[in-house]
Amino acid sequence: MAEIYIGTKFSSVQISKKNPEHLYLNKLKYWCAYFQNKNLAPPYPGGSSGNLSFKISEENDFIITASNTRLSDDMPENSFSKVTNCNINNFSLKFEGEKIPSSESLMHYAIYKARPNINAIFHGHSTEILENCNKFNIPETEKEEEYGTIQLINEVLKIINSQDFVIIKNHGFISLGKDMEEAGKNVIEILNKIEK
Ligand SMILES: [Zn+2]
């Protein structure tokens, strides 16, 4: 199962402390609450181990759950960060908001860059889904890698080209969609299959 969260591994510059505002933020909150209710982002002290984002520009800027943030039905405005100027080569990004964005922000960026038609990425952790990945032929990364690293991003990029739902080996799942509804629907479909 996923390791204990101990912080972000990228370097970051806070452009502004202003929390992001967006028409679709309520949709993101809806899916955060869904993840919480279905136990897809198990809690650790100070936060939840899952991160959800949606793309807001053709430059692959996005709004994502902040690090050290608990997913819930009633998330405060500082639960989200706007991420810009991602750079995979020097592992850095800039952000707007009170809190540093999710430790997996550069993975979200790398996927948006690789898949231009994808506008929403939901990443969660679920023993149930991991255990069922072979049964339902869900593609899985080949090698286990540490969260928040370039090695993990590269493993994900190897299998994400045509797949919208994949497993990160011994870690969690990623669901992609052209919008948040689609990314959410992919998760619901898997959960329904498991329940049957
Ligand atoms: Zn994770």
For the chain (196 residues), the mean pLDDT of every run of 10, in chain order, is 63 96 97 96 89 97 96 95 96 96 96 98 96 92 92 95 94 97 97 90
CA 2 to ligand 1 centroid distance, Å? 7
Six token digits for residue 84: 């810009």
Q: Are 156 and 174 in contact (CB under 8 A)?
A: yes
Q: What is the pLDDT of residue 3?
A: 46
Distance (angstroms) between ligand 1 centre and the Cα of 54 equals 17
**Ligand 1 (single-atom ion) residues, CB below 5 Å:** 172
pLDDT confidence of residue 39: 95
Q: What is the pLDDT of residue 46?
A: 84
How many angstroms separate the alpha carbon of residue 104 from the centre of ligand 1?
7
pTM of the model: 0.95
CA distance 186 to 173: 11
Q: Measured between alpha carbons, how far is 106 from 112 in angstroms, rounded to an integer?
A: 10
Residue 90: what pLDDT? 93
Taking the centre of ligand 1 as the mean of its atom positions, its distance from the CA of residue 53, in whole angstroms, is 13
CATH architecture of 11-195: 3-Layer(aba) Sandwich (3.40)
